[in-house]
Amino acid sequence: MITAHTRLLGVIGHPVEHSLSPIFQNAALSYLNLPFVYLAFDVLPPHLGGAVEAMRFFSIRGLNVTIPYKERVIPFLDCLVGEAQVMEAVNTIVNEGGKLIGYNTDGVGLYRSLERKGVGVEGERVLLLGAGGAAKAAVWALAKKGVASVLIVNRTRERGENLACWARAKFSLKVEVIEWEKATAGESSLWSEVAAVINATSLGLKGEEIPLPWEKLSSSVWIVDVVYRPGLTPLVREAKKRGIPSFDGKEMLIHQGAESFFLFTGERPPLQVLEEALDVKDDIS
Ligand code: ATR
């Protein structure tokens, strides 16, 4: 029941109408009977500072931050903690008595997904597609997992090099960069020696295929897609068709959301409740 004690949580972004966070966050809040509601706010760029400042006026307990504000929101916060500091990006703001604290749960989301699915990448080589914000969170998770090296494959070489530079500086990680065309046309060993291929590009969101050289991959490889869309992404569908172990961004979405939920409320949401809420959404759409 909404009462005078109910406090507000939400997500800010632009656009934000496709966010799935309100669905599973509210499902967990009502399952645990906690005094919060979670809404999505489409914030125009000139209003970003005002929207964040409003957290103090309205005692909004917490906000998730999505595209395109994960970096732009930083100047409006009082401090950054842990991964947010390392990644220089924020996806969760918590209002602690008027102080706005920035966290990042994206990397934890992928890290926990790898754990839960039993993807053993410790001491292994991993091929990472992409070099944007999602790829940065993936590098954080891979470094924490203790991978031996990361091969970044990106359309724009310069962006790949920037991410590699960051990864070497922050984690002393062994990283190489190669462009798409060179990678797909390259030596078989480039693909056969990797324990996992992680897609951290936005390809697949609108149903785009990713033309991997499937025949070059080892039989024990994992395919991990950070993209989530109702049904499966074409990449994960193809992997499943070939009998290759794989999972999509739903895992990561649930784990990053669960971590934000914990930061907002101090309670751990049952993962099954979050999962079921997304499954119901899949059935409706
Ligand atoms: P996010 O924060 O979700 O990671 P982003 O920072 O815009 O979003 O990064 C998107 C990633 O998807 C980038 O690696 C981008 O490649 P470029 O660095 O070359 O732009 C990749 N990407 C997007 N569209 C792509 C396409 N059509 N083909 C190949 N890569 C694509």
Write down the pLDDT at residue 256: 97
User: Mean of the pLDDT values across residues 112-117?
Assistant: 96
Q: Are 64 and 102 in contact (CB under 8 A)?
A: no
Write down the pLDDT at residue 87: 95
Model-wide pTM > 0.85: yes
Write down the pLDDT at residue 79: 98
By alpha-carbon position, which residue is closest to atom 3 of ligand 1? 134
Residue 129 CA to residue 179 CA, distance in Å, equals 10
Q: Are 194 and 221 in contact (CB under 8 A)?
A: yes
155 C-alpha to ligand 1 centroid (Å): 8
Judge residue 174's burial from the number of C-beta atoms within 10 Å of its C-beta, 0-12 exposed, 13-18 middle, 19 or more buried.
middle
Q: Are strands 125-129 and 149-154 parallel, antiparallel or unpaired?
A: parallel
**Comparing C-alpha atoms, which of 76, 197, 181, 212 is closest to residue 128?**
197
User: Mean of the pLDDT values across residues 202-221?
Assistant: 94
**Comparing C-alpha atoms, which of 207, 263, 194 is closest to residue 233?**
207
Residue 244 neighbours by CB under 8 Å, 6+ apart? 217, 221, 222, 223
By alpha-carbon position, which residue is closest to atom 2 of ligand 1? 133
Residue 129 CA to residue 151 CA, distance in Å, equals 8
- Taken in order of first residue, the domains within the chain and their CATH numbers are 7-104+251-278 (3.40.50.10860), 117-247 (3.40.50.720)
Q: Are 166 and 191 in contact (CB under 8 A)?
A: no
Q: What is the DSSP string of 189-241?
A: HHHHTEEEEEE-SSTTTTS------GGGS-TT-EEEE----SS--HHHHHHHH
Write down the pLDDT at residue 285: 52
pLDDT, one tens digit per residue, over 127-177 is: 999 999 999 999 999 999 999 999 999 999 999 999 999 999 999 999 999
- At residue 2, the 3 state secondary structure works out as coil
Write down the pLDDT at residue 187: 84
Residue 131 CA to residue 155 CA, distance in Å, equals 9
Q: Is the pLDDT of residue 109 over 90?
A: yes
Q: Is the pLDDT of residue 283 over 70?
A: no
By alpha-carbon position, which residue is closest to atom 11 of ligand 1? 201
Residue 9 pLDDT class (50, 70, 90 cuts): very high
188 vs 271 pLDDT, higher one: 271
Write down the pLDDT at residue 142: 98
pLDDT, one tens digit per residue, over 247-261 is: 999 999 999 999 999
Residue 42 neighbours by CB under 8 Å, 6+ apart? 13, 14, 15, 16, 17
pLDDT, one tens digit per residue, over 22-42 is: 999 999 999 999 999 999 999
pLDDT, one tens digit per residue, over 212-254 is: 999 999 999 999 999 998 889 999 999 999 999 999 999 999 9
Write down the pLDDT at residue 280: 80
Write down the pLDDT at residue 284: 56
Best residue for ligand 1 mutational test, from 163, 201, 209 (most atoms within 8 Å of Cβ): 201
59 C-alpha to ligand 1 centroid (Å): 36
Which residues lie with the beta carbon below 6 Å from any ligand 1 atom? 130-135, 154-156, 159, 201-203
Q: In the structure encoding, which two tokens stand for residue 151, read together?
A: 């091969």
159 CA closest ligand 1 atom index:
18
Residue 188 pLDDT class (50, 70, 90 cuts): confident
Bridge partners (DSSP) listed for residue 153: 129, 178
Backbone φ and ψ for 160, nearest 5 degrees, come out as -60, -45
Amino acid identity, residue 97?
G
Q: In the structure encoding, which two tokens stand for residue 71, read together?
A: 């970096």
**Comparing C-alpha atoms, which of 97, 32, 23, 98 is closest to residue 64?**
23
**Residues belonging to the active site:** 70
